[in-house]
Amino acid sequence: MTAPISRLERLLPFLRWRSQLTRAALQGDIRAGLSVALVAIPQSLAYAQLAGFPAHYGLYAAMLPTVIGALFGSCPQLSTGPVALTGMLTAASIAPLAAMGSESYLILAIAIGLLAGAIQLGLGLLRQGWVLNLLSQPVFAAFINAAALLICFSQIPALLGAPGPRSPQLVDEAIRIFHGAMAPHLPTLALGIGALAALIGLRHFVPRLPGVLVVVVACTALSALTGFEANGGAVIGDLPALRPSLQLPTVPEWNMIITLLPAAFVLAMVSFLETASSAKLISEKTGEAWNENQELIGQGLAKIAGACASTLPTSASFSRSALNLANGAQTGVASLVCALAVVVAALALGQWLHHLPLAVLAAVILDAVARLFQPATLVHAWRIDRDDGLAAATTFVATLVFAPNIQNGILTGLLLSLALLIWRSMKPRIALLGLHEDGTHRDLERFGLPHPHPHLVVMRFDGPLHFVNATRFQEAVNWARTAQPDVRIVLVSAAGINAIDATGLDAVRREAANLAKHGQQLAFCGLKKQVIDVLERDDVWTSIAPHGSYRHERQAIDALAPLASPPENL
């Protein structure tokens, strides 16, 4: 039986580690932390450039945010730091507002991380993690597929050695790729393609080897030995002395904050859904529960810490979290070890990274991101539900069309999926019922059944009765009262009505009065308590209560049959 969690442990989740830190667990944490660090260092350099930051900023993002995410999160195996999707979203959101790599760009990119962190922290503290469930899985999958294509597209120039600065406009990048393809820098192309092939090969044939680190070290050494830079190859160059510092980030003007807010909300939502995907998978494998509100707090604080460290927005990495789990991480100590290893490596190896080719970083990104492209998920969504398929397809196309403002793509999908949800609520399924041979009442049209009584009609209404479908309810009752000649009672099978609002209540009142005007009676069976509670607050309950408390169709028909039958002629 799990021990109860104290209030202090809820506030400071890392205090729970005390009871878990056995010698074996500590050994697993150290092993996992060092393994993840070997992957995190080259990935951090690559993802920083993807986000439009100088490469060394990625190392900062793998330090303090990693520690804060572990201390205040609920899933100890999650590895927080720079990730590809968050980097792409950051670049897409800020590139239209400032020149990539400029001081103003960095200020705005750090600010959007601060805003996204504040949104996540606020949702977590208010226990409102459910808000992030507004984004359906098909829409999220479609966005990831489109973003993966765009990320891969953005790395082709570096792979070709195409000259010129990176442009946020797809047309400009396409022209740059065309010119690069016509006259590629052959050493760059060879090194980039070779690195990509090596990454794929090592992952398939030697999966336990830190392939990213092996390829980066080998290619950096090859670059230095062959004079790659002197022959025109693009390399990272000299990294400034790593001096991470904490300071309050520069807050843009109010008008710019308003401009950044929609993109910050998308960044908060997408990065947390990525986090949740990892946490759910880990939870299934370990059997340990995770808390979405606590994880929002941890990820929000990590982003805020990243902003205070003047680095790019962070999130939980799916690949590094999986590596953490595979290497036996038991507590967040693994992430602390990882962060410490990154600090030591950055201080000791910074000067050796000068010859790291940009094409190799592009290969690292391509290898990681290409695996996110899974078009089968879109086909599956369409096969399961056409509305989900439509929302997913629209999100995919909109993300590509709106690029570089890809946040507009996911907002389009979000709005469309909510609109379709409202549309479905406006059209609940309605059926007239007859007695089936198995003793239940079913759709008489589908099963070819007669009405249960010549002067009584049973109508099933599947869905909450509220303002978006109240008119539909009234239309259904009017349809039912004329479904056969001389109908005296319309019995609503209301087991599917799990909620009712003021507009729905008004619809019930109107139809009760309309039926009475025609000498007919409105009755209900299967009403839920929460619906009866609302009806009792209105005078309408007085008129329908005598025939509104039947538990099921059989009971209601037995009681109402004598009332429905016309009196015999004397």
190-229 tens-digit pLDDT? 999 999 999 999 988 988 788 888 899 899 999 999 999 9
H-helix or E-strand spanning residue 237: none
| Among candidate residues 442, 361, 413, 504, the one with its CA nearest the CA of residue 48 | 361
Phi-psi region for residue 463, left (φ > 0), alpha (ψ -120 to 50) or beta?
A: left
If you ran DSSP here, which 8-state letter would residue 319 be given? H
The structure tokens listed for 484 are 């056969």
Tally the residues of the chain.
570
Which domains does the chain possess? 24-238+253-372 (no CATH), 428-564 (3.30.750.24)
pTM above 0.85? no
Distances 414 to 264, 421, 508 between C-alpha atoms, Å? 15, 11, 33
Amino acid at residue number 168: P
Structure tokens at 530: 């929460």
DSSP class per residue in 112-144: HHHHHHHHHHHHHHTT-GGGGGGS-HHHHHHHH
Q: Which residues contact 363 (CB under 8 A, 6 or more apart)?
A: 159, 192, 193, 195, 196, 199, 215
Which residues have a Cβ under 8 Å from the Cβ of 114 and sit 6 or more positions away? 249, 251, 303, 304, 307
Q: What is the pLDDT along the chain (570 residues), one digit of tens a residue?
A: 445 566 777 778 888 887 777 888 888 899 999 989 988 888 999 899 899 999 889 999 999 999 999 999 989 899 999 998 899 899 989 988 998 889 999 999 999 999 999 999 999 999 988 877 778 889 988 998 998 898 888 889 988 988 877 766 777 778 888 888 888 889 999 999 999 999 999 988 988 788 888 899 899 999 999 999 999 888 888 777 766 677 888 888 899 999 999 999 999 998 998 898 888 888 888 888 888 999 999 999 999 999 999 999 999 988 899 888 888 888 999 999 999 999 988 887 767 788 889 999 999 889 888 888 888 988 998 998 888 899 999 999 999 998 878 888 888 998 999 898 888 888 899 999 999 999 899 999 999 999 999 999 999 999 999 999 999 999 999 999 999 999 999 999 999 999 999 999 999 999 999 999 999 999 999 999 999 999 999 888 988 899 998 999 999 999 999 988 876 543
Q: Are 67 and 378 in contact (CB under 8 A)?
A: no
481-529 pLDDT, tens per residue?
999 999 999 999 999 999 999 999 999 999 999 999 999 999 999 999 9
210 contacts 35 by C-beta, under 8 angstroms: yes
Residue 229: helix, strand or coil by DSSP? coil
Q: In what order do the strands lie in the sheet with 429-435?
A: 441-443, 429-435, 456-462, 489-493, 521-525
Per residue, the 3-state secondary structure of 458-470, as one string, reads EEEEECCECCCCH
